[in-house]
């Protein structure tokens, strides 16, 4: 396996880094404080091909690989992990339609998603079913050429935006995974409402709300795939989503480490710069090593997913666990390097710590990642 990036991959990563430095990083603290959802900047990212990174080119996608996507999401997260993570969610929704939708569905929805005329949200989690996603209870009952939806989805990123678009997992049949189907619910559908914008520890630059369905009528033509196939689609989407959120953790942690190193080059104690103390040098070395180990393994898992390897799900679970745990720990250690200044918002590290904490929970908790790996080992 060659771990050297090609010229094209280097250019892709540098493009995303330039965008993060110019359009995301200068605004990240303000967006966090104001709880501002930067839709205009997201559409600028879309104009650069980042709304459909691994969506096919015939509908306006970029047609890139999962490894390319990992490079992009890590680069964007150096500016703001929260913004990068929302782009990951949007990409996952677009990919699901691209891979499992009909040609009519692809032509109808994907061009506007590629431009981010509509911002896509993924609706799987419910108040009573988080890790146990197969137990979801939002029900869709067939009524002629429509489904009637009732139920509630919880912790939905991007929900309630005026330009919304929801990929929703619903129960159309029996209990368990075989009774789950996938529906697209477009913004403005009657019977769809939203909970309050949740007050959160981090991820403040994107809204998080409950999505509530009360006799919402959705055309049968909006179903992706056949009835009963939704859970399979959801799990397939999560393989890539786990890589993406791992990459976001690495980008945020790298930014925190860079901030800490810059501070230590300037700050003096006991007559020496902080970066001249061997104990702190060793700590910096360990932090950098942990990120490189996680990054290298994430690339391996992304390559396995690109190759459709039978080990891909296991490797993606491993990579997500390693990258999100390492990313949070490195960011937290970077905060410690700044002492009291690290605890102040103006230095930017405490925001990164807050943003990265949820990465150990979403796209499947890291406890569930261990369960996936263990089941692959013991059968």
Write the CA distances from 251 to 51, 204, 243, integer angstroms: 18, 17, 12
3-state helix, strand, coil in the chain (%, to 5): 60, 15, 25
Residue from 67, 88, 62, 50 nearest 3 by CA: 67
The stretches of 307-365 forming alpha helices (DSSP H) are 312-337, 349-357
Of 121, 113, 94, which Cα lies nearest the Cα of 43?
113
- CA-CA distance, 205 to 207, in Å (whole number)? 7
**Any idea what DSSP says for residue 6?**
P
Question: Around Cβ 129, how many Cβ atoms within 10 Å?
Answer: 16
Q: Which of 198, 266, 363, 367 is catalytic?
A: 363
Residue partners of 212: CB distance under 8 A and separation at least 6: 152, 153, 192, 193, 194, 195
Rounded to whole angstroms, how far apart are CA atoms 106 and 88? 19
Active site residue 363: yes
DSSP string, 174-223: SSSGGGEEEEEEETT-TTEEE------SS-TTS-EEEEEEEEEEEEGGGE
Count of C-beta atoms within a 10 Å radius of residue 11 = 11
Structure-token pair, residue 221: 């033509």
CB 12 within 8 A of CB 64: yes
Residues serving a catalytic function are 363
């Amino acid at each position: 396996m060659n771990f050297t990036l090609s010229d094209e991959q280097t250019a892709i990563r540098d493009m995303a880094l330039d965008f993060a430095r110019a359009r995301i990083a200068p605004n990240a603290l303000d967006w966090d404080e104001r709880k501002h959802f930067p839709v205009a900047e997201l559409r600028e990212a879309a104009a650069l091909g980042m709304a459909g990174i691994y969506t096919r080119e015939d509908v306006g996608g970029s047609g890139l690989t999962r490894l390319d996507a990992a490079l992009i999401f890590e680069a964007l997260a150096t500016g703001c992990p929260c913004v990068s993570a929302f782009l990951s969610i949007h990409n996952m929704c677009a990919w699901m339609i691209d891979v499992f939708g009909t040609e009519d569905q692809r032509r109808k929805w994907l061009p506007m998603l590629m431009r981010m005329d509509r911002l896509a949200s993924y609706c799987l989690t419910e108040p009573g079913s988080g890790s146990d996603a197969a137990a979801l209870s939002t029900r869709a009952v067939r009524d002629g050429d429509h489904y009637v939806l009732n139920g509630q989805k919880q912790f939905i990123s991007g929900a309630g935006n005026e330009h919304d678009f929801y990929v929703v997992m619903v129960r159309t049949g029996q209990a368990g995974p075989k009774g789950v189907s996938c529906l697209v619910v477009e913004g403005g559908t009657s019977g769809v409402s939203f909970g309050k914008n949740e007050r959160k520890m981090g991820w403040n630059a994107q809204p998080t709300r409950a999505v509530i369905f009360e006799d919402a009528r959705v055309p049968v033509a909006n179903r992706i795939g056949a009835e009963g196939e939704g859970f399979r689609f959801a799990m397939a989407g999560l393989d890539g989503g786990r890589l993406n959120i791992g990459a976001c953790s690495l980008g945020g942690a790298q930014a925190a480490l860079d901030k800490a190193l810059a501070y230590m080059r300037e700050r003096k104690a006991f007559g020496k710069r902080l970066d001249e103390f061997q104990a702190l040098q060793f700590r910096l070395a360990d932090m950098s090593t942990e990120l490189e180990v996680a990054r290298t393994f994430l690339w391996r898992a992304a390559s396995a997913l690109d190759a459709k390897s039978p080990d891909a799900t296991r490797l993606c679970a491993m990579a997500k666990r390693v990258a999100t745990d390492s990313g949070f720990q490195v960011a937290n250690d970077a905060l410690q390097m700044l002492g009291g200044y690290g605890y102040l918002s103006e230095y930017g590290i405490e925001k990164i710590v807050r943003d990265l904490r949820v990465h150990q929970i979403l796209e499947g908790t890291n406890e569930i990642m261990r369960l996936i790996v263990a089941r692959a080992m013991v059968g």
